[in-house]
Structure 1
Amino acid sequence: MKWEMTFLNKFIITRQHYVGDSYFTALLDEKDKFREIAFHPLSEENQVVPGIICIARVKKIAANLDAAFVDIAKGVTCYLETAHIKDAWFSKQCRSGKLTEGDELVVQITKEAIKTKYPIADTKISLTGKYFVLTNEKRPLAISSKLSADEKERLSSQVQLFEQMRLFEKEAVTDTKQNAGQEEKRKPHSLIVRTNAAGASPEELETEYRKLLSDYQKLAATFHFRTCYSILMLPKKFYENAINHLYQEELGEIITDDKNIYEELQQLYAGNPDILSKIRFYENDAISLGTLYSFETQIQRAISERVWMKSGAYLIIQPTEALTVIDVNSGKNTSGKNAEEYYYKINLEAAAEISRQLRLRNISGIVIVDFINMAKEEQRKELMHQFRLSLKEDPVPVRLVDITKLGLVELTRKKERKTLLEQVAQLR
């Protein structure tokens, strides 16, 4: 097959040997600039990975932390957040209305173990699709804040229609179970509409809604009959999760050189012609996929402390135990007559690059940015405005706080998985 270079955004899935041995995914923009990099174990069997739903046993109550420690397997302990305990599904409860040691309940792993910290579990069960997230949390319909007002209204009406259809179908079907009413009572659900739902057809939305609801009801109806430590549901394949979390408008091609993954993708998206048309199998004995896109070089750049920018200025990115510090430096450039204007341009360039680096390196938690000092208030305001716009392109929630009295910019980014540096360290 002749391989032609295109200028669409690309999502690449391959097996890499540069850092340990694992699957490797990367998102490249239309200029083949890397925007995301992640490593995935060759097999997730026997691994505590986010998304697993299982029956756990309460090992210890940590009342001072408003949390508990639970075992999801013999010798495998997780930290349980109890914020959603009121909606928990108990398969065995020692004392009604109170979490007690020895209780058995359904949990979902939300974060993997990091350094000395336990994996984190939650009693909030979430089934995630491309357009929706269906949960056992009792809350009103939630719609992504990134959608327009018109699209929010359309999607809200569509979801209401689905719910009405579901209730109508339920009433139309004769009860075949004596406890059908009780079963329905203990499995209420709520829906979150994702950004990717923008522009989706009613048929696409309904298909996914019905699939998520069917999986959810099956889970709710059967967990009572499962023993402690049983795995009720495994997470989706890493590449399906990654594709679902991408903004669909930025997804031009899905490229892999792994025949098995290619065939699985073809099967997985057989009912989605939009994504199916984007899947490509790379086959070239002369040059590997990794060589074509310089994976090894890109990985090293993405974990390097120094990041050079086109202007000759550079960033210094230093992660610490508590937070990440990013310093903007003018580099070899010297100030001239228009120093203020020049530093302003460097800061604007840095803001865009920092936004990219946060996503590329999967930096999370507290981040402090030390931009080059600017005397003009209007330039500082415009910098913050442009920085905020750049951060909005990140699928992971980022909160830009403000500029401190010392001229430092504060922001936080939600932690969803290990940083790129931690992933590399784990493989080495």
Structure 2
Amino acid sequence: MSEEILINITPMETRVALVENGVLQEVHIERTQRRGIVGNIYKGKVVRVLPGMQAAFVDIGLERAAFIHASEISEREGAAVEPISALVHDGKALVVQVTKDPIGTKGARLTTHLSVPSRYLVYMPRTPHVGISLKIDEEAERDRLRDIVTRSVEQEGGEERGGFILRTAAEAAREEDILIDIRYVRRLWQQIQQQMNTAPAPSVLYEDLPLALRTLRDLANPRLEKIRIDSRETFQKVEQFVHELMPGVEDLLEHYPGERPIFDLYGIEDEIQKALDRKVLLKSGGYLVIDQTEAMTTIDVNTGAFVGHRNLEETIFKTNLEAATSIARQLRLRNLGGIIIIDFIDMEDEEHRRQVLRTLERQLERDHAKTNIIGITELGLVQMTRKRTRESLEQILCEPCPCCSGRGIQRTAESVCYEIFREIMREARAYQAGGYMVLASQAVIDRLLDEESGNVADLELFIQRPIKFQVETMYTQEQYDVVLT
């Protein structure tokens, strides 16, 4: 499997596309005015302690106060976590790291368990532990990596030696490259420590890399064949970054000077547009319906036009298999996180159910975000979670519709007409007027003058007042006004 990373730069935003075998799998967007803050370290100030929630709000200099739970401050785990009031108090300065961006109405999520990432590892200055990515499954390689890091930690000495987690990218990496990374993160941590003592609260102590550099650090792997960048200035910055920290990737870099926009080469603009639709068509003729809500994301699988060639069970099985592969891609492409409920088409055969679930698990193995399939409920729904750290594609690119306020539906013209009749009746009882003028959208006025004309005539007779109509082109279908004349 071959991978390419395409980086599109404009003064307003940076966009990164991860393409596998010519198919778009992930899109990352960072607006210049609204950069994500996950990974940033701040010196904050506790502004409110919430004993009932075992949490506190911390001012880190953002518009909304950020949120931290007692378990993210305490050194203990599970039920042994101390009460929040024993850990912090109003006005206390706290060095924290952002684990989740502010999303919707929720503030950023914080932790005091700090970590500094690099190409091959994550340094945890306050946790004396060496861990290795579960995706590195060869025991000999795990032992080799553990030995390299353990030796380095022992040589360092001192009280605060910290711990490390080896990332998937460390697999087969040379010892000297891993040691370069260890020295780099330690130097970075020393700089952060110096600022901790002198910086006021709230202030930023460390900012994670901009998107273009962060992508290379996090997404580069042995399958990567090309990194194309359409900005010479960014290309030079990336070249310098790679030269210093990721020398093995230098040969993959390519500046793209073409006239045609880089995203158009792979049809990525069209794919981004499709990733905002509720409906996802499957090649077989079936389709998915994806709905994002505040609590969870639901995905419904349908056979649609696919009728199969053999029998119904086989048709359902094939649709579900194709859907499992498509769902894994859509989760990455749309960056959907939190609780996800998948309603596959009901299957009678236990072996079919197992294969569909296994296909979903296998496809999710390539996902860079942590996923966890909980299992199938009694109703046949697949429950899973996907780690949410940044806003989804829809949350970055879209806002609720002003006509329906994000409901996705609006009242019919017929319903609005009957609402107008009720409003006229209320007005007629409350005020003495010469007549009434109804201001409404074209669709509503058309209905009042056509299908509802008989009801309008009856109403005029009942209230003994004339009713006139006027189209307001700027009104939505649900908007109307009844004016006394």
| TM-score of the aligned structures, taking structure 2 as reference length | 0.76
Partner residue of 2:112? 123
Partner residue of 1:279? 253
Contact 2:72 2:110 in 1 (8 A): no
Whether 1:357 aligns to 2:347 is no
Which of 3, 28, 34 is the equivalent residue of 1:9? 3
Question: In structure 1, what residue type is equivalent to 2:23?
Answer: K
Question: Aligned runs of 1:171-186 on 2, under 5 Å?
Answer: 185=159
Whether 1:35 aligns to 2:25 is yes
SS of the equivalent of 1:303 reads: coil
Partner residue of 2:162? 189
**In 1, Cα distance between equivalents of 2:212 and 2:342:** 32
Question: CA, structure 1 residues 232+119, in 2 after alignment: closer, same or farther (shift >3 Å)?
Answer: same
Partner residue of 1:249? 222
Question: CA, structure 1 residues 401+96, in 2 after alignment: closer, same or farther (shift >3 Å)?
Answer: closer
Whether 1:143 aligns to 2:143 is no
Question: In structure 2, what residue type is equivalent to 1:9?
Answer: E
Partner residue of 2:39? 51
Contact 1:9 1:251 in 2 (8 A): yes
Partner residue of 1:412? 385
The alignment yields a C-alpha RMSD, in angstroms, of 2.4
SS of the equivalent of 2:289 reads: strand
Whether 1:156 aligns to 2:155 is no
**In 2, Cα distance between equivalents of 1:96 and 1:344:** 54
**In 2, Cα distance between equivalents of 1:273 and 1:426:** 41
**In 2, Cα distance between equivalents of 1:219 and 1:266:** 25
Partner residue of 1:22? 13
Residue 293 of structure 1: how far off its partner (Å): 2.3
Whether 1:67 aligns to 2:37 is no
Contact 1:82 1:122 in 2 (8 A): no
| Cα displacement string for residues 328-372 of structure 1 (whole angstroms, at most 9, x for unaligned residues) | 111212255422122212211111111111111111111111111
Question: Aligned runs of 1:365-404 on 2, under 5 Å?
Answer: 365-404=338-377
Q: Which has the higher contact order (CA 8 A, sep 6+)?
A: 1
**In 1, Cα distance between equivalents of 2:72 and 2:98:** 14
Is there any run of 5+ residues in structure 2 with no aligned partner, and where?
A: 77-83, 402-485
Contact 1:143 1:193 in 2 (8 A): yes
Which of 65, 68, 72 is the equivalent residue of 1:84? 72
Partner residue of 2:299? 326
| Cα displacement string for residues 118-160 of structure 1 (whole angstroms, at most 9, x for unaligned residues) | 1122212110112111123435211111112222111111111
**In 1, Cα distance between equivalents of 2:168 and 2:336:** 22
Partner residue of 1:310? 283
SS of the equivalent of 1:382 reads: helix
Contact 2:3 2:18 in 1 (8 A): yes
Question: CA, structure 1 residues 370+298, in 2 after alignment: closer, same or farther (shift >3 Å)?
Answer: same
The runs of at least 4 consecutive aligned structure 1 residues that moved more than 6 Å come to none
Contact 2:132 2:165 in 1 (8 A): yes
Residue 42 of structure 1: how far off its partner (Å): 2.1
Partner residue of 1:134? 123
Question: In structure 1, what residue type is equivalent to 2:208?
Answer: P
Whether 1:101 aligns to 2:90 is yes
Residue 8 of structure 1: how far off its partner (Å): 4.1
Of residues 109-118 and 226-235 in structure 1, the stretch that sits farther from structure 2 once superposed is 226-235
Question: CA, structure 1 residues 309+419, in 2 after alignment: closer, same or farther (shift >3 Å)?
Answer: same
**In 1, Cα distance between equivalents of 2:117 and 2:147:** 20
| TM-score of the aligned structures, taking structure 1 as reference length | 0.86
**In 2, Cα distance between equivalents of 1:408 and 1:96:** 41
Instruction: Give the paired residue count.
Output: 392
Question: CA, structure 1 residues 158+375, in 2 after alignment: closer, same or farther (shift >3 Å)?
Answer: same
Q: Identity of paired residues, percent?
A: 29
Contact 2:129 2:162 in 1 (8 A): no
Question: CA, structure 1 residues 313+106, in 2 after alignment: closer, same or farther (shift >3 Å)?
Answer: same
- Larger gyration radius, structure 1 or structure 2: 2
Residue 107 of structure 1: how far off its partner (Å): 1.2
**In 2, Cα distance between equivalents of 1:37 and 1:416:** 14
Contact 2:6 2:263 in 1 (8 A): no
**In 2, Cα distance between equivalents of 1:232 and 1:372:** 50
Contact 1:126 1:134 in 2 (8 A): yes
Contact 2:24 2:268 in 1 (8 A): no
Residue 108 of structure 1: how far off its partner (Å): 1.5
Residue 257 of structure 1: how far off its partner (Å): 0.6
Of residues 197-206 and 306-315 in structure 1, the stretch that sits farther from structure 2 once superposed is 306-315
Question: CA, structure 1 residues 315+10, in 2 after alignment: closer, same or farther (shift >3 Å)?
Answer: same
Question: CA, structure 1 residues 96+42, in 2 after alignment: closer, same or farther (shift >3 Å)?
Answer: closer
Question: In structure 2, what residue type is equivalent to 1:197?
Answer: A
**In 2, Cα distance between equivalents of 1:316 and 1:326:** 6
**In 1, Cα distance between equivalents of 2:363 and 2:263:** 29
Of residues 314-323 and 67-76 in structure 1, the stretch that sits farther from structure 2 once superposed is 67-76
Question: CA, structure 1 residues 96+300, in 2 after alignment: closer, same or farther (shift >3 Å)?
Answer: closer
Residue 413 of structure 1: how far off its partner (Å): 0.5
Residue 409 of structure 1: how far off its partner (Å): 0.9
Question: CA, structure 1 residues 426+273, in 2 after alignment: closer, same or farther (shift >3 Å)?
Answer: farther
| Cα displacement string for residues 28-70 of structure 1 (whole angstroms, at most 9, x for unaligned residues) | 112x1110012111255xx661222121111010112211111
